[in-house]
């Protein structure tokens, strides 16, 4: 939930903004705050978990979830700016950038000026979501931040690397692959 901070305290929104970006760009739109306030029960959040979530606006194509409510820092959920366009006319492709992942050093791809008008029309139509779709996305990511999935996503790759190394070592020992000459 977006709350006002003390004047001298640096918020998470200030910390995630790169030097070239204004932290005010990441403040959530009133639509996000309204949906967040409306859907927290649908997302199966309790009062304690509800207070540990902060929402922000991102420039990515997809929503992003950082953290979990099971830790004291809480979770941050970023929703794309384009997600709350009401009509095809509201879609601004001049400032729109394709940014496949969050990287403060990469500004994203722009749409070429000579792009096919039919493709641009389809893109604009795909960037307009119905109210039900907006509610689904917001509640899905709010619910996901209330689980242990972020911990699993962090721990599993490292554990699989160790498991792969151990299995390779055992296979090489059992088959004497390092002792045989080829």
Question: 3-state SS of the chain?
Answer: CCCCCCCCCCCHHHHHCCCCCCHHHHCCCHHHHHHHHHHCCCCCCCHHHHHCEEEEEECCCCCEEEECCCCCCCEEEEEEHHHHCCCHHHCCCCCCCECCCCCCCCCCECCCCCCCHHHHHHHHHHCCCCHHHHHHHHHHHHHHCCCCHHHHHHHHHHHHHHHHHHHHHHHHHHHCCCCCCC
> What is the average pLDDT across 94-118?
82
Q: Which residue has the higher pLDDT, 160 or 14?
A: 160
Residue 78 confidence (pLDDT) above 80: yes
> What is the average pLDDT across 62-86?
81
Residue 167 confidence (pLDDT) above 90: yes
- pLDDT the model gives residue 163: 95
pLDDT tens digits, 109-137: 888 889 899 999 998 898 888 889 988 98
- pLDDT the model gives residue 2: 42
- pLDDT the model gives residue 164: 95
> What is the average pLDDT across 128-147?
87
- pLDDT the model gives residue 5: 41
User: What is the C-alpha to C-alpha distance for residues 37 and 33, in angstroms, rounded to an integer?
Assistant: 6
- Nearest 5°: CA angle at 123, between 144 and 136? 25
pTM above 0.75, yes or no: no
């Amino acid at each position: 939930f977006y709350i006002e901070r003390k004047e001298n305290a640096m918020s998470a929104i200030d910390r995630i903004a790169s030097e070239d970006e204004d932290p005010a760009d990441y403040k959530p739109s009133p639509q996000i705050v309204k949906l967040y306030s409306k859907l927290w029960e649908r997302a199966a959040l309790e009062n304690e978990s509800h207070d540990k979530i902060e929402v922000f606006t991102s420039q990515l194509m997809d929503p992003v979830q950082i953290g979990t409510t099971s830790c004291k820092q809480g979770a941050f959920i970023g929703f794309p700016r384009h997600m709350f366009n009401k009509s095809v006319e509201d879609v601004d492709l001049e400032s729109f950038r394709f940014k496949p992942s969050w990287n403060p050093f990469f500004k994203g791809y722009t749409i070429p000026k000579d792009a096919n008008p039919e493709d641009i029309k389809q893109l604009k139509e795909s960037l307009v979501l119905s109210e039900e779709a907006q509610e689904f996305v917001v509640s899905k990511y709010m619910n996901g931040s209330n689980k242990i999935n972020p911990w699993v996503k962090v721990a599993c790759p490292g554990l699989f690397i160790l498991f792969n190394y151990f299995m390779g070592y055992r296979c090489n020992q059992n088959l004497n692959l390092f002792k045989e000459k080829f």
